[in-house]
């Protein structure tokens, strides 16, 4: 494990890394058991999304990105690629840095529209389906099913000392923060929830979070579908030629005059 010392506010990554031992055995057992039992549900979904990404965009299906994991260790996270190939990512880093400094909800950057996204990417992100490949991170032992989301190295470098304790739990595919507001919360609220989870981490707590994740994902997927349909309707209306729109308006006005108070 390679851990580099960071000379900014708070202790180094090495200092943070030395505070805890390895993954709790019950956590690893729970992860593997649930992944195997739910294989018939998630594997076909992974295959379908793989084919979708391949069909709508050139380039690799999966996206690898370096993150900070348990006790400050580096690892590469897997995601479905939702952006065009070779686009700049500095915009996202700057956006998240601004969220860390402000007390505003952590709305995703693509919520307002992002031309870098491939078709269907907003739905994948809103529903959390772009994170499904992280099941393989869990199988590799880099992550757990439940825990704080793994952050980017540039984000960790901005953490204050009390925030660095967030890496004292295995990073998770879902977590206490994700099922209690997620993007409706501020950065500091996320931090407090993640630290609360670390203090209360147990088999029962993990099971509660996992059970709560299912209805949250269903709700977010339904909301994502509604937003997608709304955008499609808006685009359809916007593509109607002006002449047709004018004719429709005149026909509507003419019909209104015929069906006035004296019409039968």
In the prediction, which pLDDT does 183 show?
Answer: 76
Band of pLDDT at residue 111, cut at 50, 70 and 90 = low
Instruction: Kindly state the greatest CA–CA separation across the chain.
Output: 86
Give the pLDDT confidence score for residue 89 in this predicted structure.
Answer: 66
pLDDT of residue 6: 36
Residue 252 belongs to a domain: no
Please count the other Cβ atoms lying within 10 Å of the Cβ belonging to residue 66.
Answer: 13
Residue 201 located in a structural domain: yes
Quick check: is 34 in a domain?
Answer: yes
Q: Quote the pLDDT of residue 5.
A: 35
Maximum average pLDDT range among 103-107, 122-126, 144-148: 144-148
65 found inside a domain: yes
SS3 of 187-237:
HHHHHHHHHHHHHHCCHHHHHHHHHHHHHHHHHHHHHHHHHHHHHHHHHHH
Q: Given a cut of 60, is residue 8 above it in pLDDT?
A: no
Cα 137 from Cα 35, distance rounded (Å) = 12
Domain that holds residue 218: 13-235
Q: Which residue has the higher pLDDT, 106 or 152?
A: 152
- Mean pLDDT on 234-247: 61
pLDDT in tens, 30-80: 999 999 999 999 999 999 999 999 999 999 999 999 999 999 999 999 999
H-run or E-run covering 144: strand 144-146
Cβ neighbors of 170 (< 8 A, separation 6 or more) are 23, 27, 69, 70, 143, 144, 147
Q: Is residue 258 part of a domain?
A: no
DSSP state, residue 149 = P
- In tens, the pLDDT along 73-88 reads 999 999 999 988 877 6
- Paired with 74 in beta bridges are 68
In a domain, 262, yes or no: no
* DSSP code at position 65: E
What is the total count of domains within the chain?
Answer: 1
Residue 242 has pLDDT above 80, yes or no: no
- The predicted pLDDT at position 7 comes to 35
Does a structural domain hold residue 128? yes
Is the pLDDT at 263 greater than 60? The verdict is no
Mean residue pLDDT of the chain comes to 80
Q: What is the pLDDT averaged over residues 152-176?
A: 93
255 occurs within a structural domain:
no
User: What pLDDT, in 10s, does the model give residues 176-224?
Assistant: 999 998 878 888 899 999 999 999 999 999 999 999 998 988 887 787 7
Q: What was the pLDDT predicted at 127?
A: 80
């Amino acid at each position: 494990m390679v851990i580099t010392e960071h000379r900014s506010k708070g202790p180094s990554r090495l200092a943070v890394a030395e505070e805890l031992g390895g993954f709790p055995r019950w956590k690893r057992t729970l992860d593997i058991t649930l992944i195997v039992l739910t294989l018939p549900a998630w594997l076909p979904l992974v295959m379908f999304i793989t084919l979708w990404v391949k069909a709508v965009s050139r380039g690799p299906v999966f996206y690898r990105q370096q993150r900070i994991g348990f006790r400050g260790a580096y690892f590469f996270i897997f995601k479905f690629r939702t952006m065009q190939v070779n686009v700049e990512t500095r915009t996202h880093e700057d956006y998240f840095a601004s969220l860390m400094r402000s007390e505003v909800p952590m709305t995703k950057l693509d919520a307002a529209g992002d031309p870098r996204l491939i078709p269907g990417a907003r739905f994948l992100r809103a529903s959390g389906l772009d994170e499904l490949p992280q099941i393989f991170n869990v199988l590799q032992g880099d992550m757990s099913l439940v825990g704080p989301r793994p952050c980017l190295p540039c984000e960790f470098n901005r953490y204050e000392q009390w925030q660095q304790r967030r890496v004292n739990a295995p990073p998770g595919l879902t977590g206490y923060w994700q099922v209690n507001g997620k993007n409706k919360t501020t950065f500091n609220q996320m931090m407090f929830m993640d630290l609360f989870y670390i203090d209360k981490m147990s088999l029962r707590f993990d099971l509660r979070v996992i059970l709560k994740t299912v209805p949250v994902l269903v709700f977010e997927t339904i909301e994502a579908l509604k937003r997608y349909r709304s955008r499609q309707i808006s685009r359809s209306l916007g593509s109607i030629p002006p002449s047709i729109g004018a004719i429709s308006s005149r026909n509507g006005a003419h019909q209104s005059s015929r069906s006035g108070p004296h019409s039968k």
